[in-house]
Amino acid sequence: MKYRAIIKKSDDWWIGWLIDLPGVNAQEKTRQKLIESLKSGAIEMLLT
The three-point CA angle 27-29-33 to 5° equals: 75
pLDDT value for 16:
99
2 burial level (CB within 10 Å; 0-12, 13-18, 19+): exposed
d(CA 34, CA 3): 14
Whole-structure pTM value: 0.91
pLDDT value for 1:
83
pLDDT tens digits for range 1-48? 899 999 999 999 999 999 999 999 999 999 999 999 999 999 999 998
For residues 36 and 27, is the Cβ–Cβ distance under 8 A? no
Q: Domain count of the chain?
A: 1
pLDDT value for 29:
99
The residue segments making up the domain with residue 28 are 5-47
d(CA 15, CA 6): 8
